[in-house]
Amino acid sequence: MADDLISPDGLPRCFGNRLGQDILAHYHDTEWGVPVHDDRHLFEMLTLEGAQAGLSWDVVLRKRASYKMAFHDFDLCRVAAMTDADLEALREDAGVVRNRLKIYSTRGNARAILDLQDEQGSFDSYLWGFVDGQPQVNHFADLGEMPASTPLSDSISKDMKRRGFRFVGSTIIYAFMQGIGMVDDHVAGCWRRSGAHAMCPMER
């Protein structure tokens, strides 16, 4: 175990020793790599990953509560029905990333997910169909071995763009796949690696 993986609380984590990053550690310990099958939660994670483009993930996590308020707790129908005036108002909201294209893409993506639900029953069945319902477990020694994208994320990205989704480039989609557990990328030595979905020591 490399010393730079040891966090201040003594736990070895993929994201390493980052003082003051408790929110990132909690996300790593409780969400990252855990399979998600709820369409609302999947929409939330897709939105946050798209918002993260060009920013650090902990910045977006700190805005997460504000995103839930701004976008009706990620209720797909309510977000899909938001007006241009509603979205323009969010450009003055410091609680979200005030990029016009990112804000408008959230409504567009909600509508694309509703179309998928009509076609395939759920966003969940669409996404997990790319991996036959089973997470892909990788075995990287450290973050340096981890790809930014893969042929699979390329394929998903291409298909989602064809369906009208925005901010779904291959790099964003690979991070999304990691976040929703379609791929388990916990590195060797991470406490989550041995029994990848064991209970967090803080919760025992």
SS3 200: coil
pLDDT at 18 over 90: no
- Binding site as annotated, residues for Zn(2+): 28, 186, 190
- Give me the active site residues, please: 27, 49, 57
Q: Which two tokens stand for residue 48?
A: 């946050």
Within 13 A of 179's CA, how many CA atoms are on the CB side?
A: 21
Domain range 33-185, CATH class: mainly alpha
How many Cα atoms occupy the beta-carbon half-sphere of 28 within 13 Å? Answer: 25
At 172 the three-state DSSP class reads helix
C-beta separation of 62 from 200 below 8 A: no
In this prediction, residue 170 carries a pLDDT of 98
Indicate whether 20 pLDDT > 90.
Answer: no
Q: What is the pLDDT of residue 176?
A: 98
pLDDT at 143: 87
Q: Hey, how many other C-beta atoms are within 10 angstroms of the C-beta on 52?
A: 22
Task: Give tens-digit pLDDT for 66-116.
Answer: 999 999 999 999 999 999 999 999 999 999 999 999 999 999 999 999 999
Looking at residue 115, what is its pLDDT? 98
> What are the residue ranges spanned by the domains of the chain?
33-185
Q: Indicate the residue type of 203.
A: E
Query: What pLDDT, on a 0 to 100 scale, did the predictor assign at position 202?
Result: 38
- Are the beta carbons of 33 and 136 closer than 8 angstroms? no
pLDDT one-digit tens code per residue, 150-199: 999 999 999 999 999 999 999 999 999 999 999 999 999 899 985 444 44
Report which of residues 167 and 13 the model is more confident about.
167
At residue 22 the predicted structure's pLDDT band, cuts being 50, 70 and 90, is confident
Q: Do 80 and 39 contact (CB within 8 A), yes or no?
A: no
- Amino acid in position 29: D
* Averaged pLDDT score across all residues of the chain: 90
Instruction: Please name the amino acid found at residue 178.
Output: Q
